[in-house]
Amino acid sequence: MCAKILDGRKISKEIRNAIMNEVHHLKDHYGITPGLAVVIVGDDDASHVYVSMKEKACQKVGFHSEVYKLPKETTEKELLTLIDELNHNEKINGILVQLPLPKGIDENLINSHILPMKDVDGFHAVNAGKLLLGEESFVPCTPKGILELIKRTEEDLTGKHAVVIGRSNIVGKPAGVLLLKENATVTICHSKTKNLEKHVKMADIVVAAVGVPELIKGDMIKDGAIVIDAGTRKVNGKLVGDVAFEEASKKASWITPVPGGVGPMTITMLLENTLKAAKTQCE
């Protein structure tokens, strides 16, 4: 068996084109331009790359975009003051604070200070709670992108056994909840899980999101499984995922590459969430 590739770049392009068309419609007929504010604190190189990518993506689809680059010496109070200003800024429909934040700044406090209706990252407790309850909410971008990729296989997820490796609030936990909503049977594994291989071997769907290079070997993959690799780490200058791609692609039915799989989808789902926020706020 040779797995089909779930091409995140291609799928993202299709979705972004649809977003761009809708933005043009909103501008032309209602005078609405979706606006996203991205705040970054400190000088983490990877974070600045991500922010630059988000800014470019906003510009390409026609969003209003504002980027706030704050020095690492920024205090928690100063950051909260900026968020207050953005919460009341009518041009801004979505607010994203790039993680990680410097030591001394409470990420949970910062995320909880963003108005839920502008929380396009889906990290506010209100949105997290609504997701768990099955109510309409902003869904964290990476899990949302993961589910979109899985749905592109057009396979019925009802009753499928999904194994999510990773229990972060940003990816693992919400990915598990989304798969439950699709009627999959979900197992969440983590660093304390005993006999990880046993769990993965039973999975019809594997979602790896821990950032441990090639943790999931090819012989752990069930024949015909859908494999989503959301982990990324640089090894000898090369971006590597959690899954041993070449080995796993010989067993899986569908698989995402690293790079070019989940990554592009994350930014695209951010655009979707921002568009949704703009439309909701103007109703």
Asked whether residue 69 is assigned to any structural domain, the reply reads: yes
CA distance 51 to 121: 13
Asked whether residue 224 is assigned to any structural domain, the reply reads: yes
| Annotated active-site residue in 121, 204, 229, 242 | 121
Asked if 170 and 142 touch (Cβ cutoff 8 Å), the reply is yes
Q: Please list, in sequence order, all residues whose beta carbon lies within 8 angstroms of the beta carbon of residue 176, skipping any fewer than 6 positions away.
A: 162, 164, 186, 188
CA distance 107 to 147: 25
Asked whether residue 108 is assigned to any structural domain, the reply reads: yes
Q: Work out whether the CA dihedral 118, 124, 128, 130 comes out positive or negative.
A: negative
Nearest residue to 148 (alpha-carbon basis) of 257, 43, 252, 265: 265
Asked whether residue 64 is assigned to any structural domain, the reply reads: yes
Q: What is the mean pLDDT of residues 164-191?
A: 97
CATH no. for residue 154? 3.40.50.720
- Give the pair of three-digit tokens for residue 179: 């798969």
Asked whether residue 274 is assigned to any structural domain, the reply reads: no
Asked whether residue 123 is assigned to any structural domain, the reply reads: no
Confidence of residue 283 (pLDDT cuts 50, 70, 90): confident
Confidence of residue 257 (pLDDT cuts 50, 70, 90): very high
In this structure, the answer to whether residues 251 and 150 fall within a common structural domain is yes
Q: What is the mean pLDDT of residues 19-37?
A: 96
State the residue range of the domain holding 228: 141-263
Digit-coded pLDDT (tens) for 189-226: 999 999 999 999 999 999 999 999 999 999 999 999 99
pLDDT above 70 covers a percentage of the chain that reads: 100
In this structure, the answer to whether residues 112 and 186 fall within a common structural domain is no
Confidence of residue 244 (pLDDT cuts 50, 70, 90): very high
In this structure, the answer to whether residues 185 and 247 fall within a common structural domain is yes
E strands in the chain:
4-5, 35-41, 64-70, 94-97, 161-165, 185-189, 205-208, 226-229, 233-235, 238-240, 254-255
Asked whether residue 13 is assigned to any structural domain, the reply reads: no
In this structure, the answer to whether residues 180 and 111 fall within a common structural domain is no
In this structure, the answer to whether residues 153 and 257 fall within a common structural domain is yes
Asked if 37 and 87 touch (Cβ cutoff 8 Å), the reply is no
Q: What is the pLDDT of residue 191?
A: 93
Nearest residue to 100 (alpha-carbon basis) of 47, 50, 39: 47
Residue 124 has pLDDT above 70, yes or no: yes
| Annotated active-site residue in 13, 77, 84, 98 | 98
Q: Which of 44-53, 62-71, 212-221, 271-280 has the lowest mean pLDDT?
A: 44-53
In this structure, the answer to whether residues 257 and 149 fall within a common structural domain is yes
Annotated active-site residue 121? The verdict is yes
φ and ψ at residue 162, rounded to 5 degrees: -105, 130
| Annotated active-site residue in 27, 43, 44, 54 | 54
Residue 1 has pLDDT above 80, yes or no: no
CA distance 166 to 96: 23
pLDDT above 90 covers a percentage of the chain that reads: 95
In this structure, the answer to whether residues 74 and 145 fall within a common structural domain is no
Annotated active-site residue 98? The verdict is yes
CA distance 139 to 127: 7
Average pLDDT, the chain: 96
CATH no. for residue 75? 3.40.50.10860
Domain count, the chain: 2
Q: Please list, in sequence order, all residues whose beta carbon lies within 8 angstroms of the beta carbon of residue 135, skipping any fewer than 6 positions away.
A: none
Confidence of residue 151 (pLDDT cuts 50, 70, 90): very high
Find tokens 């796993």 and name the residue. 248
Report CA Rg, the chain.
19
Residue 273 has pLDDT above 90, yes or no: yes
Q: What is the mean pLDDT of residues 149-154?
A: 98
In this structure, the answer to whether residues 253 and 155 fall within a common structural domain is yes
In this structure, the answer to whether residues 183 and 227 fall within a common structural domain is yes
Amino acid letter, 202? M
Confidence of residue 258 (pLDDT cuts 50, 70, 90): very high
Asked whether residue 165 is assigned to any structural domain, the reply reads: yes
Residue 46 has pLDDT above 90, yes or no: no
Confidence of residue 173 (pLDDT cuts 50, 70, 90): very high
In this structure, the answer to whether residues 96 and 150 fall within a common structural domain is no
